[in-house]
């Protein structure tokens, strides 16, 4: 195989996005994953790209906002380059308002969003009736609606990235030598390997279960109610998820916890009642101890880098992660935001505990 500038291990959302950003800048890149594209947590079905609340602004929230704004152009270019649809659409999100205190807070956040979101998206409080039948049950009769949230189909998005890379001469292979600058975007296994190398844990896997329904609401916004995401996809299906399991046996098995998720979803969103189940999915998502992504150099390992810990926001911040990692790899320019660095997890209280 020809020598490359960058080798990326891991064909999930972070690995493929970083590879794409590097290829776009003219770098020779190879992606390797023994299990293939989107074989782990990135092969899921939910795909909710949603912002944090517009308040107490910080570098993390600003980074996420910029990435969500950039997503439309990012995924349009990927689709055009590779000829595959990632399922992206900025359809917004609707949430119920639980009580009077939450209503007051939601209105405060609407005012904050008007400033912090720079007029590029809105966070507003609307009467429940304004949303029609596609709405969660709201005890107050009010809903929060934002226009920043978007959706995509996770597995389809990864396949679209792989197709775009292939069109630019970068294939995803099963194994490869460590050539050039090396990026480790290997999910839970990567967190374990980094923890072993530094002598303390840096993160863990959190299992999630989700269900795909035969319900066509493709033009409707995603819903967030009772801590569950309800995401209509462009192919006429609707995903519901997910659990967050710290302890589990089989990482790929679904069980009665998923049945409970569906029951809760139907109670929160009556429009889901009676929809046929098409598929059940389970996977383990990588979560860093800092609860933020881990980006940057691998400590003590020159020429090696980490892009891991996307957990629940990996797809939403992928355009931003791709850009800052390409800057670091190809130009030596460090734009990684505060809180997203590898050392942030290494310095967390849990990581400093004796093993």
pLDDT per position as a tens digit, 226-272: 999 999 999 999 999 999 999 999 999 999 999 999 999 999 999 99
Sequence ranges of the domains in the chain? 6-87+147-202+289-352, 93-146, 204-288
pLDDT per position as a tens digit, 274-311: 999 999 999 999 999 999 999 999 999 999 999 999 99
| Res. 348 pLDDT band, cuts 50 70 90 | low
Q: Which fold has domain 6-87+147-202+289-352?
A: FAD/NAD(P)-binding domain (3.50.50)
Give the contacts of 115 (CB within 8 A, at least 6 positions apart): none
Q: Given a cut of 50, is residue 355 above it in pLDDT?
A: no
Superfamily designation of domain 204-288: D-Amino Acid Oxidase, subunit A, domain 2 (3.30.9.10)
Total-model pTM: 0.95
Residue 71 CB neighbours (<10 A): 23
pLDDT per position as a tens digit, 60-79: 999 999 999 999 999 999 99
| Res. 346 pLDDT band, cuts 50 70 90 | confident
**Amino acid 353: pLDDT:** 45
Q: Given a cut of 80, is residue 352 above it in pLDDT?
A: no
pLDDT per position as a tens digit, 200-211: 999 999 999 999
Partners of 29 in beta bridges = 6
Q: What percent of the chain has pLDDT over 70?
A: 97
**Amino acid 58: pLDDT:** 92
Q: What percent of the chain has pLDDT over 90?
A: 94
**Amino acid 345: pLDDT:** 79
**Amino acid 347: pLDDT:** 74
State the average pLDDT over residues 50-67: 94
Task: Copy the structure tokens of residue 157.
Answer: 């998005």
Q: What are the backbone dihedrals phi and psi of residue 288, each rounded to the nearest 5 degrees, phi first?
A: -75, 155
| Res. 354 pLDDT band, cuts 50 70 90 | very low
């Amino acid at each position: 195989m020809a020598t490359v500038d960058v080798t990326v291990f891991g064909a999930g959302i972070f690995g493929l996005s970083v590879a794409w950003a590097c290829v776009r800048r003219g770098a020779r890149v190879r992606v390797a994953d023994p299990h293939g594209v989107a074989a782990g947590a990135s092969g899921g079905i939910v795909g909710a790209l949603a912002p944090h609340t517009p308040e107490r602004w910080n570098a993390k929230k600003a980074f996420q906002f910029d990435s969500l704004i950039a997503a439309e152009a990012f995924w349009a270019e990927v689709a055009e380059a590779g000829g595959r649809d990632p399922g992206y659409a900025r359809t917004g999100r609707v949430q119920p308002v639980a009580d009077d205190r939450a209503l007051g807070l939601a209105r405060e956040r609407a005012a904050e969003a008007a400033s912090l979101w720079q007029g590029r998206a809105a966070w507003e409080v609307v009467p429940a009736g304004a949303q029609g039948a596609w709405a969660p049950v709201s005890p107050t009769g009010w809903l929060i609606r934002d226009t920043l949230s978007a959706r995509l189909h996770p597995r389809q998005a990864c396949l679209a990235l792989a197709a775009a890379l292939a069109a630019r001469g970068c294939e995803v292979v099963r194994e490869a030598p460590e050539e050039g600058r090396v990026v480790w975007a290997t999910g839970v296994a990567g967190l374990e390997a980094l923890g072993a190398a530094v002598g303390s844990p840096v993160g863990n896997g959190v299992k999630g279960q989700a269900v795909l329904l035969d319900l066509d609401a493709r033009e409707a916004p995603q819903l967030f109610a009772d801590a569950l995401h309800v995401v209509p996809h462009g192919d006429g299906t609707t995903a519901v998820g997910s659990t967050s399991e710290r302890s589990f046996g089989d990482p790929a098995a679904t069980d009665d916890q998923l049945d409970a998720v569906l029951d809760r979803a139907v109670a929160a969103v009556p429009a889901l009642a009676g929809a046929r189940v098409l598929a059940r999915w389970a996977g383990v998502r990588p979560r860093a101890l800092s609860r933020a992504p881990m980006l940057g150099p691998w400590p003590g390992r020159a020429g090696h880098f980490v892009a891991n810990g996307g957990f629940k926001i990996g797809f939403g911040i992928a355009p931003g992660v791709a850009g800052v990692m390409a800057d670091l790899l190809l130009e030596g320019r460090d734009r990684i935001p505060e809180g997203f660095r590898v050392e942030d997890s290494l310095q967390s209280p849990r990581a400093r505990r004796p093993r």
